[in-house]
Amino acid sequence: MGFSSALQGRAAHEALIVRQDAELRLMETMKRSIQLKAKCDREYAIGLAAVAQQGMKTDRADEMQGSLITKAWRSYMDELDHQAKQFKSNAELLEVVCEKLTHLSQDKRKARKAYQEEHAKIAARLNHLTDEVVRKKAEYQKHLEGYKALRTRFEEHYIKSGRGGRKLDDVRDKYQKACRKLHLTHNEYVLSITEAVEVEKDFRTVLLPGLLEHQQSVQESFILLWKNILQETSQHGDLTSDKFKEIQKRIDNVINSINPSEEYREFTEKHKTSPTTPLVFQFDDALIEDIPGKLQSNTLTVDNLTVDWLRTRLIDLEMSVKECQEKQLKMIEHANGGSPIANGSIARNGSTASNGIQSPKDSQNRQSKDLNALRCQEKQKQKLVDMIKCALNEIGCEELPSGCDDHLEQNFIENSFNNDQQNSATSTNSTGVSIINELRRRGGVLTLLRGRPFKRKSTPQPTTPTVNRMRTQRFNKLQPRSQSLGSLSMSLSTNRPLYEEEWFHGVLPREEVVRLLNNDGDFLVRETIRNEESQIVLSVCWNGHKHFIVQTTVDGHFRFEGPPFPSIQELIMHQYQSELPVTVKSGAILRRAICRERWELSNDDVVLLEKIGRGNFGDVYKAKLKSTKQDVAVKTCRMTLPDEQKRKFLQEGRILKQYDHPNIVKLIGICVQKQPIMIVMELVPGGSLLNYLRKNSNSLTTRQQMGMCRDAAAGMRYLESKNCIHRDLAARNCLVDFENSVKISDFGMSREEEEYIVSDGMKQIPVKWTAPEALNFGKYTSLCDVWSYGILMWEIFSKGDTPYSGMSNSRARERIDAGYRMPTPENTPPEMYRLMLKCWCAEAEARPHFDEIYNVVDALIIRLDNSH
């Protein structure tokens, strides 16, 4: 069954036109997808080439000479580079496929137009004859009625007047004329019917079937070309093709060529050495030459100064010996098939039995190595145990030995307490004796001093004017990553507040801070609020991102782990100049101060004038910038909001700062130096579009409303090109500038990605403005914004009415899913309402993109202007 016999009806013809339109839309969708695929392949090729380039960078390659691993790795990287080139080639070929698809789409449009014109032409011929038959029939009826009337009149006169008379002659003439017209009309009617019968027959049996048969052939030829394009697309993305298989095969071959027993042969021959010479450890007798008493080289000294320490050390060493013995026993039991719980000792000594890559021989070797290590460790500890026991046994008892050096002990005590007791110089001998007695009662000097921290005197660093000047100059030369903000002024005598420092970023959230710190040593200072308490934090990039809270001492100084300083500026200067880690555990060193970005404004530069609205996070004010006297709009963030909400608040500023379009509200900056956090934007004098529509409903013209729709489409077209999904497009979130110009605003829900899946529930979702797929599946794309744009158009032409008025959110959602669409607002041009309906297509792919929407609205405005 083909087109010629099955699609002759009018409904079938219209369905064929609709099918062609759908195929054209599918071609456009395919073209966009293939273009995106080509882009992805190109980017992947670049990334893969970078991987290969990075992989070829091996430090001191000569040290790996003869290594099969190195050879395999280099070959692997070479093949990755070949893969990158293949992906790049595929991307280029996909672009050629896109061009073919574009030409196919153009040809298909021409073919559809030619079919419509030819169908209309042959149908017009039949329609014309059909109309002619109807007209002739009506004319026939008219003349027939006239003929009958005149014949009746003639007969009446003929009967009355007999066979003569002038009046009878006139009636006879009229009757004959009517008879002649009737016969002529009869003939014309018969001829028109005959012609119509032939035309209809030709239309039905020849012309229309021929047209449809030709159209089927055209359609099928397009499908064949389309199929070839799809096959080309598939081939250019086929990772199982011979080219990729060959690359993978070469990678596998070179990896399989690695032989562990051959890996170090050349290395061993090159670096072959004689056995190591034993290291000799000897006690340096020079250390005790000038010390009186019983200190002897290589001999433990046992007296009241050391006996407690030796006993404690003996206990610790005996426990270590016992632990080594237990581990050895468990390892032997495990090796002999004993309890598997002994695995813990093996694991603690570095066994990799769980990684699944070692052979039984490797496992046995490792167990033997670990067992030998434990035995050596036991022998070492036991040697120390024996030495201490021997020394303690020589005194014959566990009491303090006689003959201790009392003056040495007293001097040690006095020196130890001199830092804490300033009157040590006047301490009497009796005091010294009482301290000694207390020490003896408690068990020696170390027992008393064990709990006291040892205060090491810090060695002052050289602080010559030249050194200080050089360090300060080096610190002042630090520049921010994004732009030059001048020298970073800092001196040890500065009295200016912390928030005036260029490297202090105020209450900038941690997420924003992490974005600014990119290289090891990058740092900045910020403020955070925890448990309603303000804390100053040093954020540093060092093997990741680390955040250090500045500690405050009792006397109001500031420190980390090192010495305290009177100001945070001096503390940061010290950490930078000394090049010491902020903390020993982190190892983080300050190398480069990151200054505020140009759009981070000072809170003091913004003067709030009057409240003009309220947002989700706080109030909106009209304000003025001190520096430029410019009027601005300021969104504030409530101080009591959690950090997560503040992060979402600043997200709008982060998105807006990179956009520049006349129909997108412009960001001037953000203020994070103090609370409250503020977003500073251009002041749009007309205010909210929704309020403007309602306030000026009586004066708005259709031309102005269409202009508003065009402005909104222009702004959204720009956002779509930036892969930005607004997610909350509505009249309330648009602003009106001079001459009714509309600007898109309120990017609090926006996302910079082609597709966004909601993962935090559907809270605060504007249901009546949101596309069905977003409500039902949480899936947002730019085509969801197209649905919202359709609602925005409805708001504009209804002059600020509420969508789905009288319906709850749930009811509106049910009706929309069932196919309901709002009726056209009064005085809306039909073309604009048709565009609304297209924006509200249930299938997202069937909706127009903003580029198409803008072109349609712009063309309608031009046509409207020309008509006037």
Which residues are tagged catalytic?
Answer: 728
Rounded distance between C-alpha atoms, residue 124 and residue 115, angstroms: 14
How many other β-carbons are positioned within 10 Å of the β-carbon of residue 789?
26
DSSP bridge pairs for 667:
681
Residue 505's alpha-carbon distances to 189, 456, 498, 508, 557, in angstroms, are 95, 36, 10, 6, 21
Rg (CA), the chain: 47
What contacts 55, CB < 8 A, 6 or more positions away?
A: 73, 76, 77, 80
Integer Cα distance of 675 and 681 in angstroms: 18
Q: Which residues contact 653 (CB under 8 A, 6 or more apart)?
A: 599, 667, 669, 670, 679
Count how many residues are written for the chain. Answer: 868
Q: In whole angstroms, what separates CA 680 from the centre of its chain?
A: 24
Please enumerate in sequence order all residues whose Cβ is within 8 A of that of 80, keeping only pairs 6 or more positions apart, or say none.
48, 51, 52, 55
Secondary structure of residue 548 in the 3-state scheme: strand
* CB 680 within 8 Å of CB 668: yes
Is residue 294 within 8 A of residue 301, CB to CB? The reply is yes
Alpha-carbon torsion 828, 833, 839, 843, what sign? positive
In a 10 Å sphere around its CB, with 0-12 CB exposed, 13-18 middle and 19+ buried, how is residue 25 labelled? middle
**Regarding beta strands 522-530 and 592-593, do their DSSP bridges make them parallel or antiparallel, or are they unpaired?**
parallel
Q: At residue 473, what is the residue type?
A: Q
CA distance 798 to 791: 10
Report the alpha-carbon distance of residue 864 to residue 858 in Å, rounded.
10
Place of tokens 């237990």: 326
Contact 625, 677 (CB under 8 A): no
* 327 marked as binding residue: no
Please state the residue numbers annotated as binding site.
635
Please state the residue numbers annotated as binding site for ATP.
635
